[in-house]
């Protein structure tokens, strides 16, 4: 049986001291500043792009001439250059919808440091709850052990950690291990086909009549605390002088809000992982709508000449759609289904919620309400749950999929070339 390499990532929380956290902050800001210097050097050369060799030479020279650049490990600096060049390759690739690389803001950028080579990590398990890893210019650091890592312990050389990335979240620093494991190609999944309708009131409605729902991501007390903190931040912003840095008190309030929202995100991601794994194990083919979510959550504000209507209601709908993270649900379903020999197909979205699955009659008036469906065709007259009706239509349309992902070993060939130097 053919073996294929399966690449995965595992995220674990680091146990850092205040001094170690400050050092990582400095490295991350140095990496961000290096990106900005690269962008200026790469693009502002009399209209010509700089060559890769020139960028590498400029980095080496800057590490000798700029003191704070020395905070960043040499491998991490080279990783910044590699990611920057790949960003331009993605931008010029017509098959890759990537935005043009630009400068990174100190206030809005996510702090991160790459450890591209795994040979110096020396990952070891200390006990049931903790592991240890070497970080460049930081030293030996403990991290939360929640899952076995390939290549640690008695694993063979084929199962290994290929690198890592350090990222800062609202509640501290995390390490994301890049792992590689050889696995045999799974046998085709023999489970049934199911259609899934993603919604807000009902998170996932299945064509077999069942649903997958969740409660609020925050408890009542946490939601009340978040509301109070948001009101507090609004009061503090009223006393802020425009153009001046925010005060320490406002920064602390922002940090408290961010930690609560990060808690909600972790709980949502945990539910999505568990639900996607259960669905991928049960069904062989999973059909979902090919939704253009970015267009769905576009603002309805309009312009001065043509102001939008129902702007507040549309804003609330946009927040609700973003909170459900529909795109992430499909991403998780895709790779979990591929691991089990199944596949996910995307079907055209128009008409699925207004079409009767019994007779095929399509009419906006078929939606008697948000949750009820009543076919206006007098010869049919079927009534039932609107979400389940849409899920059945999605399942029936699985044969006309606009795209699909399945085989674990299958890869999509995409030619990505960085821009040439003039």
Is residue 387 annotated as part of the catalytic site, yes or no? yes
For residue 141, CA distances in Å to 13, 115, 291 come to: 11, 14, 43
d(CA 209, CA 398): 17
Neighbours of 202 (CB within 10 A): 18
Distance of CA 80 to the CA centre of its chain: 20
Q: Which is nearest to 324 in space by CA: 297, 304, 356, 343?
A: 297
**Residue among 65, 114, 171, 387 flagged as catalytic:** 387
Q: Is the distance from CB of 333 to CB of 309 less than 8 angstroms?
A: no
Is residue 197 annotated as part of the catalytic site, yes or no? yes
Helix (H, G, I), strand (E, B) or coil at 153: coil
Is residue 95 annotated as part of the catalytic site, yes or no? no
**Residue among 289, 290, 334, 339 flagged as catalytic:** 289
**Which residues does residue 190 pair with via DSSP β-bridges, in sequence order?**
none
Helices (H), 289-420: 293-296, 311-324, 326-339, 386-396
Please give the structure tokens belonging to residue 223.
């939601």
Burial class (CB in 10 A: 0-12, 13-18, 19+), 102: exposed
Q: What end-to-end distance do the CA atoms of the chain give, in Å?
A: 48
d(CA 157, CA 151): 7
Please give the structure tokens belonging to residue 161.
């950690």
**Which residues does residue 212 pair with via DSSP β-bridges, in sequence order?**
204
**Residue among 2, 56, 197, 208 flagged as catalytic:** 197
Q: CB within 8 A of 392, min separation 6: which ones?
A: 195, 207, 357
Output the CA torsion 306→308→309→311 (10° steps): -160
Q: Is the distance from CB of 419 to CB of 101 less than 8 angstroms?
A: no
User: Which residues have a catalytic role annotated?
Assistant: 197, 289, 387
């Amino acid at each position: 049986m053919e073996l294929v390499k399966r690449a995965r990532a595992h995220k674990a929380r680091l146990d850092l001291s205040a001094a170690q956290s400050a050092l990582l902050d400095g490295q991350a800001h140095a990496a961000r500043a290096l990106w900005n210097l690269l962008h200026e050097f790469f693009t502002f050369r009399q209209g010509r792009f700089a060559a890769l060799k020139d960028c590498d030479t400029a980095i080496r020279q800057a590490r000798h001439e700029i003191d704070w650049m020395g905070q960043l490990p040499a491998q991490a600096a080279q990783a910044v250059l590699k990611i920057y060049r790949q960003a331009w390759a993605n931008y010029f690739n017509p098959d890759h919808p990537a935005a043009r690389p630009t400068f990174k803001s100190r206030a809005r950028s996510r702090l991160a440091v790459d450890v591209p080579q795994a040979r110096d990590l020396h990952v070891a398990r200390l006990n049931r709850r903790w592991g240890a890893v070497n970080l460049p210019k930081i030293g030996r650091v403990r991290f939360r052990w929640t899952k076995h890592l390939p290549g640690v312990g008695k694993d063979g050389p084929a199962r290994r950690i290929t690198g890592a990335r350090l990222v800062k979240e609202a509640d501290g620093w995390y390490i994301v291990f890049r792992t590689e494991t050889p696995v045999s190609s799974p046998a085709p999944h023999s489970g049934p086909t199911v259609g899934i309708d993603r919604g807000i009131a009902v998170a996932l409605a299945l064509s077999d009549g069942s649903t997958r729902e969740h409660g609020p991501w925050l408890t009542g007390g946490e939601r009340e605390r978040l509301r109070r903190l948001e009101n507090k931040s609004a009061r503090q912003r009223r006393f802020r002088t425009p153009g001046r840095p925010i005060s320490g008190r406002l920064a602390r309030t922002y940090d408290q809000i961010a930690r609560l929202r990060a808690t909600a995100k972790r709980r949502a991601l945990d539910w999505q992982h568990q639900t996607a794994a259960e669905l991928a194990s049960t069904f062989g083919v999973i059909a979902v709508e090919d939704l253009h979510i970015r267009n769905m959550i576009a603002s309805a504000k309009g312009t001065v000449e043509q102001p939008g209507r129902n702007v507040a209601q549309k804003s609330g709908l946009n927040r609700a759609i973003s909170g459900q993270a529909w795109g992430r649900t499909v991403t998780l379903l895709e790779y979990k289904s591929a691991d089990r020999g199944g596949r996910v197909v995307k079907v055209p979205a128009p008409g699925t919620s207004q079409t009767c699955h019994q007779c095929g009659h399509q009419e906006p008036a078929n939606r008697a309400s948000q949750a009820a469906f009543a076919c206006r065709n007098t010869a049919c007259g079927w009534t039932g749950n609107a979400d389940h009706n849409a899920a059945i239509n999605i399942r029936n349309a699985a044969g006309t999929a606009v795209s699909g992902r399945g085989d674990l070993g299958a890869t999509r060939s995409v030619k990505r070339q960085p821009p040439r130097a003039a």
